[in-house]
Amino acid sequence: MTRRTGEEDAMADALRAAAAEAALEHGPDYVVPQGFERYTAEDHATWVKLYERQHTLLPGRIVPVFLEGLDALGIHPTGIPDFRDINAVLGRTTGWTIVAVPGLVPDDVFFTHLANRRFPVTFWIRKPEELDYIEEPDAFHDLFGHVPLLMRQDYADYLEAYGKAGIALMGEGMLHRLARLYWYTVEFGLMRTPDGLRIFGAGIASSPGETRFALESASPNRIGFDLGRVMRTRYRIDDYQETYFVLDGFDGLPSLAVEDLRPVLAAIADAPDLDPGDVLAEDVVVTRGTGEYARQRAAKIPN
Ligand SMILES: [Fe+2]
């Protein structure tokens, strides 16, 4: 672990103070300046470590367009990118921009950003001692994990439609269903490609442990994506997933136009929720998991 100089300490403190201040002082859209000049050498070094670790693991495991997106956007292992540089490329490619936020934002704010082709990115980065695990998304998860695929028009359109669906369905008691859809695609989705199964979810792409687990462990189920099925399925927020859903390429992204979504929501309205590890007779099972990892974890957690 590197020691900070006094100056870096002061800058790190200033960055955290700025985050706290920004959380209080943002406008209704939660957007704040990235404050690129406030990152310390230690912040950039954390980015480099996280980047290099994932960039070593991901080739052959992630959809190739993710790596192409990193390159095209100039997301490199040199340090935390300046959002202005990202936006110059992203804007002219798919019309998206990234906006800096202090952290997680409320549902209505999130949906409104996506519906307007803006992706909120947390501006601060984890501390060196949080390299392997962090409770909240930070700049590495949000930027490295999510933004490269926004260079693809169909994926970018999917996220915009998700935001619009969220706005349309606010107040109808359906947001848990949309949250599951986001979780099992945007965060933890797998994809069938001509070269085999690949990761495309940002939650996997930004985690070295889950990068291996999602593709190579015998423990989790891998089940063909079905929109209604996914929206019935609870998920784990604190550990590796018990089930991953597999899209048939980017063409497998479902239409989220509200007129297409409503019949699916109506069809599952009375169906019971499913536990994360459930496998149904009608599932298209790619891999039936042993469930070993989840059983071991459960045995370690006292009731
Ligand atoms: Fe995320």
Q: How far is the CA of 146 from the centre of ligand 1 (A)?
A: 7
Instruction: Give the span between the Cα atoms of 114 and 119, in whole angstroms.
Output: 6
Residue with tokens 């969220």, as numbered in its chain: 166
Q: How far is the CA of 19 from the centre of ligand 1 (A)?
A: 19
Any domain includes 247:
yes
Any domain includes 10:
no
DSSP bridge pairs for 120: 99
Instruction: Give the span between the Cα atoms of 166 and 115, in whole angstroms.
Output: 9
Contact call for residues 86 and 147 (beta carbons, < 8 A)? yes
Q: How far is the CA of 192 from the centre of ligand 1 (A)?
A: 21
Contact call for residues 168 and 222 (beta carbons, < 8 A)? no
- The reported pLDDT for the residue numbered 299 is 87
Any domain includes 129:
yes
Domain range holding 173?
27-300
DSSP-assigned letter for residue 129: G
Q: How far is the CA of 151 from the centre of ligand 1 (A)?
A: 16
- The reported pLDDT for the residue numbered 151 is 98
Any domain includes 63:
yes
The first and second tokens of residue 218, run together, are 């015998």
Q: How far is the CA of 85 from the centre of ligand 1 (A)?
A: 21
Instruction: Give the span between the Cα atoms of 172 and 168, in whole angstroms.
Output: 9
Instruction: Give the span between the Cα atoms of 142 and 82, in whole angstroms.
Output: 14
Q: How far is the CA of 104 from the centre of ligand 1 (A)?
A: 10
Instruction: Give the span between the Cα atoms of 71 and 66, in whole angstroms.
Output: 9
Any domain includes 86:
yes
* Residue 196 falls in which region: left (phi positive, over 0), alpha (psi -120 to 50) or beta: left
Q: How far is the CA of 194 from the centre of ligand 1 (A)?
A: 26
**CATH code for the domain in which residue 208 is found:** 1.10.800.10
Q: How far is the CA of 137 from the centre of ligand 1 (A)?
A: 6
pTM: 0.91
Q: Is 167 exposed, middle or buried (0-12, 13-18, 19+ CB in 10 A)?
A: middle
Any domain includes 56:
yes
- The reported pLDDT for the residue numbered 8 is 45
Spatial CB neighbours of 201, under 8 Å, sequence gap ≥ 6: 185, 186, 187, 188, 189, 190, 214
- The pairing of strands 221-224 and 285-287 is antiparallel
Spatial CB neighbours of 281, under 8 Å, sequence gap ≥ 6: none
Instruction: Give the span between the Cα atoms of 185 and 203, in whole angstroms.
Output: 10
Count of domains for the chain = 1
Any domain includes 124:
yes
Instruction: Give the span between the Cα atoms of 201 and 274, in whole angstroms.
Output: 21
Q: How far is the CA of 173 from the centre of ligand 1 (A)?
A: 22
Any domain includes 270:
yes
Tens place of pLDDT for every residue, the chain, 303 residues? 333 344 444 555 555 556 556 555 788 999 999 999 999 999 999 999 999 999 999 999 999 999 999 999 999 999 999 999 999 999 999 999 999 999 999 999 999 999 999 999 999 999 999 988 888 999 999 999 999 999 999 999 999 999 999 999 999 999 999 999 999 999 999 999 999 999 999 999 999 999 999 999 999 999 999 999 999 999 988 899 999 999 999 999 999 999 999 999 999 999 999 999 999 999 999 999 999 999 998 887 654
Spatial CB neighbours of 67, under 8 Å, sequence gap ≥ 6: 58, 59, 148
- The reported pLDDT for the residue numbered 26 is 81
